[in-house]
């Protein structure tokens, strides 16, 4: 890939100055495109002498963000520069912008400048995993606010045979195999998985796999789409605790769901 600016700058070049534009040819990325770290891409610039003076070109300086990457002598009244660049660093998140700037100078000392603005992406951003402990003491959902933040509601009576988790208003809920949870390790993998899920599966009205009769291990992954985000929720265990008073009279059932989310 190679970056190109969509504009020709000759029309706004001051009289007597050389002109420069970003190279536009097949395979070149456009201004504002995204490139991945540790992946080579091509870019280039096309420059010409002033139409008015015809002064020959002298030097071209390439600057990456705040540092000069290359300065080279050039001759003639026109020149095309082609280069290859790779951002080599390890970052945990998307970089907002990187700018490649080119400055051409002619033998009279007149200059012209253009630039390419890039979005630089790390496609291997690891997903952050957060443990979850969601508890319901009888009819009271202790972690209601946390669950609602990922698009889930814990509904139904605490005396039901199964715990019932439903999507919050405007949320969508999918029930998936827990084996998928462990293999989804990066942001790109998650995005691809969710996109495929939307195309091939139907959202469900509720998740009711957790029995309230006894404690048990589980291996279920819930995927919620809520407020523009996708959440992967891995349910691995539910602890069931009947609560009685001092006389042994049944009062309620406490349910604690544990697992993690990405």
- Concatenating the DSSP letter of every residue in 40-65 gives -EEEEEEEE--TTT-PPEEEEEEEET
70, 89, 121: which is the final residue of a domain?
A: 121
**SS3 of residue 72 by DSSP:** strand
Q: The whole model's pTM is what? A: 0.58
Burial of 172 (0-12, 13-18, 19+ CB in 10 A): middle
Tell me the mean pLDDT in the region 62-88: 93
Q: Tens of pLDDT along 9-38?
A: 333 567 899 999 999 988 888 898 889 888
Q: Among 93, 121, 149, identify where a domain stops.
A: 121
Structural tokens at position 119: 């979005």
Residues 60 and 113 in one domain: yes
**What is the number of other CB atoms lying within 10 angstroms of the CB of residue 90?**
8
The yes-or-no verdict on residue 260 having pLDDT over 80 is: yes
Can you tell me whether residue 231 is helix, strand or coil?
strand
Task: Give the length of the chain.
Answer: 262
Q: pLDDT (tens digit, 9 = 90+) per residue, 107-136?
A: 999 999 999 999 888 777 788 899 999 999
Q: Residues 49, 167: one domain?
A: no
Cα separation of 210 and 216, whole Å?
8
On whether the CB atoms of residues 78 and 20 are closer than 8 A, the answer is no
Query: Which domain, by its residues, includes 184?
Result: 130-261
């Amino acid at each position: 890939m190679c970056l190109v600016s969509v504009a020709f700058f000759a029309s706004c070049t001051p009289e007597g100055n050389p002109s420069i534009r970003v190279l536009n040819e097949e395979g070149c990325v456009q201004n504002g495109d995204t490139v991945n770290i540790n992946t080579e891409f091509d870019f280039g610039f096309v420059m010409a002498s002033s139409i008015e003076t015809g002064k020959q070109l002298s030097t071209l300086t390439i600057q990456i963000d705040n540092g000069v990457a290359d300065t080279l002598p050039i001759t003639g009244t026109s020149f095309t520069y082609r280069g290859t660049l790779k951002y080599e660093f390890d970052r945990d998140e998307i970089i907002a912008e990187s700018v490649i700037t080119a400055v051409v100078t002619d033998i009279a000392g007149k200059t012209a400048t253009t630039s390419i603005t890039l979005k630089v992406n790390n496609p291997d951003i690891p997903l952050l995993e957060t443990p979850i402990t969601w508890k319901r003491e009888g009819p009271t959902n202790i972690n209601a606010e946390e669950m609602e933040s990922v698009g889930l509601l814990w509904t139904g009576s605490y005396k039901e045979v199964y715990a019932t988790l439903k999507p919050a208003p405007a949320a969508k809920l999918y029930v998936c195999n827990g084996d998928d949870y462990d293999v989804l390790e990066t942001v790109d993998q998650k995005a691809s998985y969710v996109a495929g899920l939307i195309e091939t599966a139907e959202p469900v009205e509720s998740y009711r796999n957790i029995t309230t009769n006894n404690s048990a291990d589980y291996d279920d992954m819930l995927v919620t789409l809520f407020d523009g985000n996708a959440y992967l929720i891995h349910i691995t265990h539910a602890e069931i605790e009947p609560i009685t008073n001092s006389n042994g009279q049944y009062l309620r059932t406490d349910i604690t769901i544990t697992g993690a989310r990405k």
